[in-house]
Amino acid sequence: MSEYWKGNIYKALILRLGIILVLFTLCRLVFYRANAGLFNPIGIPDFLTMLWGGLKFDISAIMYVNLLFIVSQIIPFRFRYGKTYQKISSWIFYVTNGIALAMNVADVAYYPFTLKRTTFTLFSQFANEENKGRLLFKFIFVDYWYITLFYVALLFAMVWLYRKIRVAKPRHFGYPAYYLSSLLALVLVSGCVVAGIRGGFRHSTRPITLSNAGEYVTHPDEISIVINTPFSIIRTIHTQPLKKLNYFSTEQLNSIYNPVKQPADSVGFRPKNIVIIIWESLSREYVGSFNPDLEHGNYKGYAPFIDSLKQQSLAFDNAYANGRKSIEALPSVISSIPGINEPFVLGYYSGNKISSIGGLLKQKGYYTAFFHGAPNGSMGFSSYIKMAGIEHYYGKTEYNNDADFDGMWGIWDEPFLQYFAKTLNTFKQPFFSAVFTLSSHHPFKVPEKYEGKFPKGTLPVHQGIGYTDMALKEFFATASKMPWYKNTIFVITADHSSVAWHDEYKTSLGAFAIPILIFDPSGELKGEVKQPVQQADIMPSLLNYLHFDKPYFAFGNDMIHYRPDHFIVQSINGLYQVIAGDYVLQWDGKETVGLYNYREDILLQHNLRGKQPEVQQKLEQYIKAFLQQYNRHMVDNALVVR
């Protein structure tokens, strides 16, 4: 038997692209196997449907990635058969497909942190990190070495199989016949490439996008199984401008939902200090007091200080993040601007004029500041803070003591939160300030002196949660002795949720579940709110509580003075998710694909689409009104009250 297959250049092209198609499918199988616990149980027929649907997205990505290689093989000139030419073409194939496979393999490890395939915004998200090389080295060769080995095996298979396929020269180069047949083949192959990219041959077929994967899944989170990472990145390279929507007349729209908030009453403004603590990766699952029924009532969680503080606070037991990335948290929490489909600060309208709770309170004479222990510029936070009208930024540079550097992300939370408290003590009152913690982040280390002090739990993140909980307890111990403490409102929330252990936190709803606490040392705010709220509700809630006396813009609503028409919005994998009352609805931009009573059906297994028409209609009305307002205000650069 011959050691290799030899045939005409077009058959060789098909076989070589087929190699990548097989390797992409193998990546999908490994992706699912590694992350199966993050999805609802999937039967074999449903999984086979996903694999079949995945071929469409794989072919599209492979066509994009291999455009240069394909062109090199189908140009109608005889030099394409030359040995040197084919050698150069092979390296084009190796490099472009090697990068594409790396993207797929990377998401095997990265998916649990975002619960979505990586998009093009990843490159902007980490553009300002000073320690990219160190992080990359640690991820590749230490934390996920087995993923690296899998990638090396894929590269070896790709190169070995490619070399088993040889291109045979035509026996005869009859000029008219050769060029005519080559031109015909050029047209046919080009047509197939375009169809592959678009997802079909029909003229009416629109180029497939992430949301098209919904055709092959039962639950929205399963879209990540169907699509692949190169496709996800390519499809999000150019963020398209939003289009204004016209579901309702202006009068109807504002009666359903209006992001322009008016002063609630004529009571005088209360100049209390505001401190917002944004805790890295604090899933609601990790806090025992937010889960009284978990594990038959025996679950303790990993944040005992938050458990104790909750008893003295106004606690929101049914709160959700607006996104799954740190970079989405600040606009949601501080400016009440949720990222829809992609983070606001990385999107098409990121240059829009915005306000924030800090910027608005500055108009009242507040000193405003933001703290983050990472190297200045990390995550683009300093740029956003400036856009939001917050005057002062305190980062690793201002901390100025690398002895407390964790070696990866920034200053350990314990010393940085002490620095935060002591620096607040130098501010003139009233002040607004926010701090973003960082220690409960991958690689989930704690300072050496605390090794073994905190429960390891069932996930690597748990001991980091225990460490930051302790650091926060020490922060409050220090702050409580300072003169500004009793005149301060503290808000504690998360930037986003993280890896889950319990099944109810692995759903498309549970994946956004976080705690929100408002603590007032004076004792004015206490109790529990069971209705659904979101990060974007924090800003309007605080401004209304202070009796801010000017109109302002916020996509969220007051969650302290809760109204029956309160709803929250998220986006995931090209779908919109709206939560109101006892229900969560998933909408693809045209129709409802899922409706669940999440209180009775915590695993979202029983789709009520079409079975609860009044509820479905109301939630569809909410999401349409939200998107009409969102798009209009983004397009018109109208995110502030002028």
DSSP codes of every residue in 469-507: HHHHHHHHHHHTTSTTGGGEEEEEEES------SGGGSS
- The pair of structure tokens assigned to 301 is 């969680």
- The pair of structure tokens assigned to 411 is 């200053």
Question: How far is residue 430's CA from residue 215's CA, in Å, rounded to a whole number?
Answer: 53
Q: How confident is the model at residue 513 (pLDDT cuts 50, 70, 90)?
A: very high
Q: How confident is the model at residue 204 (pLDDT cuts 50, 70, 90)?
A: very low
- The residue behind tokens 């619960």 is 115
Question: How far is residue 490's CA from residue 314's CA, in Å, rounded to a whole number?
Answer: 10
- Indicate the SS3 state at residue 261: strand
Task: Please tell me the predicted confidence (pLDDT) of residue 153.
Answer: 97
Question: How far is residue 467's CA from residue 452's CA, in Å, rounded to a whole number?
Answer: 11
Beta strands in 366-476, from DSSP E residues, in sequence order: 367-372, 392-394, 431-436
Instruction: Identify the weakest region by mean pLDDT among 80-89, 340-349, 433-442.
Output: 340-349
- Indicate the SS3 state at residue 565: coil
Question: Taking residues 436-448, what's their average pLDDT?
Answer: 92
Query: CA neighbours within 13 Å on the CB side: how many for 441?
Result: 24
Residue 9 phi/psi, 5-degree rounding, is -65, -30
Please list the residues that pair with 564 across neighbouring strands: none
Task: Please tell me the predicted confidence (pLDDT) of residue 124.
Answer: 67
Question: How far is residue 258's CA from residue 577's CA, in Å, rounded to a whole number?
Answer: 19
Contacts of 511 (CB under 8 A, 6+ apart): 115, 221, 324, 497, 500, 505, 572
Other Cβ atoms within 10 Å of 611 Cβ, number: 10
User: Chain-wide mean pLDDT for the chain?
Assistant: 91
Q: Which residue from 613, 584, 578, 608 is spatially nearest to 257, judged by alpha carbons?
A: 578
Burial (CB count within 10 angstroms: exposed 0-12, middle 13-18, buried 19+), residue 487: middle
Q: Which residue from 580, 436, 577 is spatially nearest to 494, judged by alpha carbons?
A: 436
Q: In this model, does residue 94 exceed pLDDT 80? A: yes
8 A C-beta contact, residue 605 and residue 595: no
CATH 3.30.56.10 corresponds to the domain 248-257+567-642: no
Instruction: Identify the weakest region by mean pLDDT among 50-59, 236-245, 279-288, 366-375.
Output: 236-245
Question: How far is residue 492's CA from residue 387's CA, in Å, rounded to a whole number?
Answer: 23
Task: Please tell me the predicted confidence (pLDDT) of residue 507.
Answer: 93
Residue 279 phi/psi, 5-degree rounding, is -95, 120
Question: How far is residue 586's CA from residue 338's CA, in Å, rounded to a whole number?
Answer: 17
**What CATH number does domain 258-501+512-562 carry, 3.40.720.10, 3.30.413.10, 3.40.50.300, 3.30.300.90?**
3.40.720.10
Burial (CB count within 10 angstroms: exposed 0-12, middle 13-18, buried 19+), residue 432: buried
495 to 5, 278, 329, 435, 480: CA distances (angstroms):
54, 6, 5, 11, 25
Q: In this model, does residue 497 exceed pLDDT 60? A: yes
Task: Please tell me the predicted confidence (pLDDT) of residue 324.
Answer: 87
Domain borders along the chain are 5-235, 248-257+567-642, 258-501+512-562
The pTM (predicted TM-score) of the whole model is 0.83
Torsion angle of the four alpha carbons 417, 423, 429, 432, in this order, in degrees rounded to the nearest 10: -50
- The pair of structure tokens assigned to 294 is 């978990």
Please list the residues that pair with 519 across neighbouring strands: 490
CA 381 to chain centre: 16
- The residue behind tokens 């193998």 is 26
Residue 337 phi/psi, 5-degree rounding, is -120, 100
Kindly give the pairing relationship between strand 568-572 and strand 488-494: unpaired
- The pair of structure tokens assigned to 601 is 């059906």
Question: Taking residues 581-608, what's their average pLDDT?
Answer: 95
Task: Please tell me the predicted confidence (pLDDT) of residue 450.
Answer: 93
Question: How far is residue 418's CA from residue 399's CA, in Å, rounded to a whole number?
Answer: 11
Contacts of 593 (CB under 8 A, 6+ apart): 214, 220, 575, 586, 587, 609
- Indicate the SS3 state at residue 579: strand
Q: Which residue from 391, 443, 438 is spatially nearest to 411, judged by alpha carbons?
A: 438
What confidence tens digit (pLDDT) does each residue in 109-146 have? 988 887 788 887 677 666 666 777 777 788 787 888 99
- The pair of structure tokens assigned to 637 is 């650069």
Burial (CB count within 10 angstroms: exposed 0-12, middle 13-18, buried 19+), residue 590: exposed
b/e 158-180 (16+ beta carbons within 10 angstroms → b)? bbebbeebebeeeeeeeeeeeee
Residue 226 phi/psi, 5-degree rounding, is -75, -45
Question: How far is residue 566's CA from residue 626's CA, in Å, rounded to a whole number?
Answer: 12
CATH topology match: 248-257+567-642 vs 258-501+512-562: no
Q: How confident is the model at residue 22 (pLDDT cuts 50, 70, 90)?
A: very high
8 A C-beta contact, residue 386 and residue 423: no
Please list the residues that pair with 354 across neighbouring strands: 639
Q: How confident is the model at residue 630 (pLDDT cuts 50, 70, 90)?
A: very high
Kindly give the pairing relationship between strand 527-529 and strand 431-436: unpaired
Q: In this model, does residue 438 exceed pLDDT 70? A: yes
8 A C-beta contact, residue 23 and residue 230: no
Question: Taking residues 509-522, what's their average pLDDT?
Answer: 96
Task: Please tell me the predicted confidence (pLDDT) of residue 1.
Answer: 40
Task: Please tell me the predicted confidence (pLDDT) of residue 127.
Answer: 65
